[in-house]
Structure 1
Amino acid sequence: MSGILILAFVISILSHGYYVGASVRSARDEVNFESVNLNVDLSRVLKRVNERFLSVAIDASLVAEEKFMYLLTSPKLRTLAKALSPAFLRFGGTRQDFMTFNPAFLHSNEYHKNSVFDADDLCERLELPPILEERLKQEWALQEVLLQKEDLQRKYRSVKFTEYAVDLLYSFTNCSGLDLIFGLNELLRTTGNSWDSSNARTLIQYCESKQYSMAWELGNEPNSYEKKAGIRVNGYQLGQDFIQLRRILQESKLYHDTGLYGPDISQPREHRRDLLEGFLESGAEAIDACTWHHYYVNGRHTSLNDFLDPEVLNTLALKTHEVMETVDLASPGKKVWLGETSSAYGGGAEGLSDTFVAGFMWLDKLGLGAKLGLDVVIRQVLIGSGTYHLVDDNLDPLPDYWLSVLYKRLVGPEVLSIEAFSILGKTKRVRVYLHCTNKKSTSYKSGAVTLFALNLSKSPARIAVPAMVSNSTVEAFVLQSEQPGEEGLYSKSVKLNGEVLKMVDDRTLPSLQGTPLAAGEHLRLPGYSFAFYLLSEAQALACR
C-alpha cells in the first residue's frame, strides 16, 4: 500500500466517528480494535449452492437399540429439526456398515393395512409422551458411553433393525420437512468380494411399498474398512458396487430417478485419493453427487487454540481443492458434497465441539465451503453419539444449532465476492463472507445482501462498509457467548444481541430478532463473536 493510500486510510478511520455496538466502550477499547476494509462485487453471482446447502445427519448409532429411535417422535426434537428445513437428513455413519434390515412383518398384510404410519395425521399421532421421553434420554446417556467404548476399541456389534425403525425415521423427516438420505451397508460382501445387495433389495422393496420418498448412500468411509472390519475394497470394485445399486433403483418405479450419493470417503491422503480416483473411473455415472468427509482436527489431541487458528480453518480449502480437482478430471461438472463434517473427528473434542467456540469452525466452513463451490454440507450430527451434536442429551439446542438456524433464515444460495483487508494487508483474524439474502424465508427487498463475519480475536473489530451500500439500513444479529472473555468460549449457551437464546417451550423457538441500525460507514464486531448483518437496501444487481 502506497504512503498516500495509507494516509487516506488513517484519515478515513479518524474522521468517521460512527460504528455500531451493543454498548458504550471505553477509550482503551476504541484504540485496540482492528479496522477492516471490504472489497466486494455485487454485480455477479460467484457460486450458487443447493438450497439445502446446510444439511444435517442423524448418526446410525441411534438404531444400535431400536427403542432409541422413538426419540425421533419427540415434539421438541421435531420442532428443532423443522427450523432447519429445507435440508437433507443423512442417516448413516460408522455403524451403517454393521446394520442389517431384519423385517418382522414384511409378509404380513395386516401390518401394511393397520400401520399408524399411513394415517394422514401421523405427525400428531406419533408423539413421545413426556414421561417416556425422560426415561429414553436417561438411558441414551448410558448408551453413549458404550458406543464411545466401541469406537475406541474399533469393535462394532452387528445390529439388526426392523420396519419400526424405518417408519420412525421416515416419519421424523417427513414431519420435519427434511429430505431423507438412507445409508446402506456396504460391508455385506459375496465370496467374490462384490457387494451382496440382497438385504438392501429387501429394504428398498419395503420402503417402496410404503411410498417413502428418499435418497440413498452405500457405505461409510470405505478407506477405513480394513481397520474396522478386516475387509479391503478397492476403488474400482466400490464403483461397481454403486453401479449395481443404481440398477436396483432403476428397476423401481418410485426410486427410478432418486438421488444416490457416495462414496463418502475420508478427506484425501495418498491412498484415499487413489480410492476416489478408482471409484470415479468405474462408478461416477451412478452417483448424483460425489461425497467426502472433512474434520479439521483429531478430537482426542486438540486444543482451544486450534478452534481459533486461521491456519487450521484454511486447511478446508486445501482438501477441497484436492477433491474437486480429482472429481473434475474424472467426471466434469459432477456436484461435490461434504457428506459428513464437523470440527473434530473421533466423536468430537470433549468440552470444545459442543460449546460456543465450535461456532467459529462451523460458520467459517459454511462460508468458505460455499465460496469454494461445495454444493451441500452435512453437519455431523443433529442427534447421535459423540460431542459434536447440535442438541444435547436433554434435546436442548447448543450454540451451533442457533447459528445454523440464523444461517438458514438469513443466507441465500447465491455467493458473492468479498475480501477483507486491514492496514497491514489481508486480515487473518476477521473472516467475512457475503451472500444474497435468503428470499424464501425473509420478506426483504430484492437486492438485499447478508454479510456474515467471525472475529477470532479477543479484541473488537470495526468493519468499514463499502460506499455502494453505506446508505442501506442494517439489521444486526450478533452472537456472543453467555460469558465474556476466553472463559466464555467453553460455554454451552449463546446470546443474540445480548439476550440468551433458549426455547420458549418444547414447540416454540424464540423470535430471533435482529437489531436495526441506522445507515453508516462502520459495523462493530465484538471480540470472540460472529454476526450476520443484513443490508436490506444494498440493491445488489446479482440478487435481483
Structure 2
Amino acid sequence: MKHLESVSAIVVFVVLFCVFRVGGKTVTSIDDDDGGGQPIRVDLDLSRVVRVVSERFLSVAIDASLMSEEKFMNLLNSPKLRTLAKALIPAFLRFGGTRQDFMKFKPKGRYFQARDNNVCEKLELPPSLEFKLKHEWVLQSKTLLQEEVERKYKKTKFSEYAVDLLYAFANCSGLDLIFGLNALLRTPENSWDSTNAELLLEYCGSRQYVMSWELGNEPNSYEKKAGIRVDGYQLGQDFFHLHQILQKSKLYHSTGLYGPDVSQPHDHHKDLLPGFLEAGAEAITACTWHHYYVNGRDTSLEDFLNPVVLDTLETKINEVLETVKSVSPGKKVWLGETSSAYGGGAVGLSDTFAAGFMWLDKLGLGAKLGLDVVIRQVLIGSGTYHLVDDNLDPLPDYWLSLLYKKLVGQEVMKAAVHTNFVTKKQVRVYLHCTNRKSTQYKQGAVTLFALNLNKGQVTITLPSHIANSTIEAFVLQAPEPGEQSLHSRSVKLNGEVLKMVDDRTLPALQGSKLPPGEPLKLPGFSFAFYVVTDAQAPVCK
C-alpha cells in the first residue's frame, strides 16, 4: 500500500512539475511526437483581455470602379450578393478606392426612395438581366485593369440613381455605409473644392440616407495619379473643412468621418500622416491607412506562405500606431483598405485558397496589436482580391470571413506557440472570446484560431486545465492535397467543399466535435478555428 502511495506521489509530482502557472498563464509540456505531426505547445492566457476591437472589426469594401458605368451598380440588386453580404453583418461597407477621386456627382432628376419598406423586394435583379450584367462586367473589368496598369483614369459622373442603388444595397443587407468623396477636386490655391460634395450631401440628406464619409484615397499617390501634390497640413485642412460642412447638417452633424486613407508609410511620404494629424486629427472619428503585403504583378505562392512576409505587417502596424499615439493619443486606428497584393491583386493567388493565410493572419495580428477595424478590399469590384467572383459565387476568403464572424468575438487574449522545431513562425495562433452572439456556445467559451504554413501536419497540445474541454473544430483546407491545390477557388470545411445551397441560402457551417483530451491535429497548409466550449474564461462571461 505504501508502495502504491509512493507511486501516486511521484505521478502527482510529475504532473505538477509539468503544469504550472506564471502570471496568470498556464504553461504545459507535451509528450514526444506520436507520429501525428510535429508537436506544438500553446500557452493561452485566459485571465485577461489585452484588446477589445469593434463589433464591425471585419468589414468589407465595394470598389468605386463598380460605378464606372451606372448600369453595373444594378449588380448590387442580386439576391445572391445580398444574401452573402447580409451574412457578414455587423460590418461597415466602404465605397471607395482609386476611382473615387475621378468621379463627380451629376444629378439627373432620376431617383427612387431607397428607404421604402418594400424597396428590397422591388429592386431584385431578374436572372436574365443579372446574367447579362455579369458577362459585361467581366469585359469592363479588363478595361479597368488596363487603366490601372497605365495609370490613366477616366473621369466619370454618377447620378442620384447610382447613389440610391448603393444605399439600398447597404440598407437591405444591414451594412453601415461609408462613402468616399473625391478629394482631387481642387481650387486654384490647391485647397479642396467642396462644391460637388455639398451637392451630394444635400441630396443624401434630403433622402435621409444615414451614412459616414471619407475624403480621398491614398493621397500620397496623388502626384503619380493626377499630377497633384497635397501635403499633410493641407490634407488636414481639407478634412477640417469637410467636418465643418457636416457639422451644419441636421443628419450628418454627428456622423463618422474617416481618413486620410494613406497607403503604408515609406520613403518621403512618411511625413504625410503626422502632418495630417497635426492639422486635422480633431476632424476624424478614426485614422485610416492601407496595407498590402506584396506587388500583385511579381509575387508568388512562396510569398503567400512565407512567415517573413507575414511578419512585415507587424512592423507597419506599429509604425502607424506609434505615429497616431504621438500626435493624437487615443484616436482609433483602422486598416481602411487591405488585401494580399496591391495592383488589383495577384492573378491565380489573391482569389484562391492560398490567400487565406495572409487574410487570417492579418485579422489575428491586427486585433492583437490594437487596430479597431479592418476593411477588406473587396466584396465585389475589379481586380482579383475579391471575396465574391464574377459569377457572384463566394470564394475561399469569403468562407473564411464568414467563419470568423460566426466564431470570433471582440475580446482578444494572449496566445503563444512553443516548439523545439524550426517551424515556430510557420504555426501562428490567436485567441479571442467566442462571439457572444453565437447562442450555441456557453458563456466563457474561447476561440483559438491557428494557421499551419508547413507542408506537414502539426499536433497542438492545449493547456491542461482546458485540454479535456469539449472542442469544436472548423478546419479549412484546399480541396485536394498538395501545393497545386492551394490555387483552388474552392475550400473544404472538415472535409466537405463549401458552396451555397441556392442563391438565397448559405450552408450550415458545422464544427466537428473532438474527443476530450485529444490534441489538435492541424493538417499541412491549412487553417482552423477551435471553439473551446468549456473554457469558462471569466473575462468572456
> Shorter-chain TM-score: which interval?
over 0.9
Unpaired runs of 5+ residues, structure 1, are: 18-29, 106-110
TM-score (norm 2): 0.94
Q: 1:35 touches 1:422 (CA, 8 Å); kept in 2?
A: yes
Q: 1:266 touches 1:272 (CA, 8 Å); kept in 2?
A: no
Offset at residue 426 of structure 1 (A)? 7.8
Match of 1:86 in 2: 90
CA distance in 1, matches of 2:116, 2:443: 41
Offset at residue 483 of structure 1 (A)? 1.3
Q: Helix, strand or coil: the match of 2:447? A: strand
CA distance in 1, matches of 2:44, 2:514: 21
Pair 1:283 & 2:280 matched:
yes
CA distance in 2, matches of 1:116, 1:237: 37
CA distance in 1, matches of 2:392, 2:125: 13
Deviations 1:499-536 (A, max 9, x none): 00000000000001111112114110000100000011
Pair 1:214 & 2:219 matched:
no
CA distance in 2, matches of 1:279, 1:102: 30
Match of 2:161 in 1: 164
Offset at residue 441 of structure 1 (A)? 3.1
CA distance in 1, matches of 2:493, 2:423: 28
Amino acid corresponding to residue 254 of structure 1 in structure 2: L
Match of 2:9 in 1: none
Amino acid corresponding to residue 295 of structure 2 in structure 1: N
Match of 1:272 in 2: 269
Q: Helix, strand or coil: the match of 1:530? A: strand
Q: 2:261 touches 2:290 (CA, 8 Å); kept in 1?
A: yes
Q: 2:114 touches 2:167 (CA, 8 Å); kept in 1?
A: no
Alignment equivalent of 1:155, drawn from 152, 156, 161 = 152
Match of 1:420 in 2: 417
Match of 1:100 in 2: 104
1:25-424 → structure 2 map (5 Å cutoff):
30=35, 33-105=37-109, 115-424=112-421
CA distance in 2, matches of 1:456, 1:360: 8
Amino acid corresponding to residue 13 of structure 1 in structure 2: D
CA distance in 2, matches of 1:12, 1:318: 32
Q: 2:246 touches 2:253 (CA, 8 Å); kept in 1?
A: yes
Q: 1:351 touches 1:490 (CA, 8 Å); kept in 2?
A: yes
The 1:11/1:451 distance shift into structure 2, 3 A limit, reads closer
Cα root mean square deviation, aligned: 1.7
Pair 1:13 & 2:10 matched:
no
Unpaired runs of 5+ residues, structure 2, are: 1-13, 20-27
Offset at residue 270 of structure 1 (A)? 2.9
1:424-435 → structure 2 map (5 Å cutoff):
424=421, 427-435=424-432
Identity of aligned residues (%): 69
Deviations 1:372-403 (A, max 9, x none): 10000000000000000001000000000000
Q: Helix, strand or coil: the match of 1:155? A: coil
Amino acid corresponding to residue 192 of structure 1 in structure 2: E
Q: Helix, strand or coil: the match of 1:13? A: coil
Q: 2:292 touches 2:340 (CA, 8 Å); kept in 1?
A: yes
Q: 2:387 touches 2:394 (CA, 8 Å); kept in 1?
A: yes
Q: 1:349 touches 1:387 (CA, 8 Å); kept in 2?
A: yes
TM-score (norm 1): 0.93
Aligned pairs, number = 519
CA distance in 2, matches of 1:377, 1:156: 27
Offset at residue 116 of structure 1 (A)? 4.7
Q: 1:185 touches 1:219 (CA, 8 Å); kept in 2?
A: yes
Amino acid corresponding to residue 41 of structure 1 in structure 2: D
CA distance in 1, matches of 2:147, 2:363: 31
Offset at residue 11 of structure 1 (A)? 8.8
Amino acid corresponding to residue 107 of structure 2 in structure 1: P
Q: 1:466 touches 1:521 (CA, 8 Å); kept in 2?
A: no
The 1:118/1:84 distance shift into structure 2, 3 A limit, reads closer
Alignment equivalent of 1:449, drawn from 446, 450, 454 = 446
Amino acid corresponding to residue 238 of structure 2 in structure 1: D
Q: 2:115 touches 2:168 (CA, 8 Å); kept in 1?
A: no
Q: Helix, strand or coil: the match of 2:76? A: helix
Amino acid corresponding to residue 31 of structure 2 in structure 1: I
CA distance in 2, matches of 1:354, 1:91: 20
The 1:424/1:161 distance shift into structure 2, 3 A limit, reads same
Pair 1:474 & 2:478 matched:
no
Pair 1:465 & 2:462 matched:
yes
CA distance in 1, matches of 2:176, 2:113: 21
CA distance in 1, matches of 2:501, 2:320: 43
Q: 1:482 touches 1:491 (CA, 8 Å); kept in 2?
A: yes
CA distance in 2, matches of 1:324, 1:217: 20
Q: 1:297 touches 1:345 (CA, 8 Å); kept in 2?
A: yes
Q: 2:30 touches 2:461 (CA, 8 Å); kept in 1?
A: no
CA distance in 2, matches of 1:426, 1:362: 20
Q: Helix, strand or coil: the match of 2:84? A: helix
Amino acid corresponding to residue 280 of structure 1 in structure 2: L
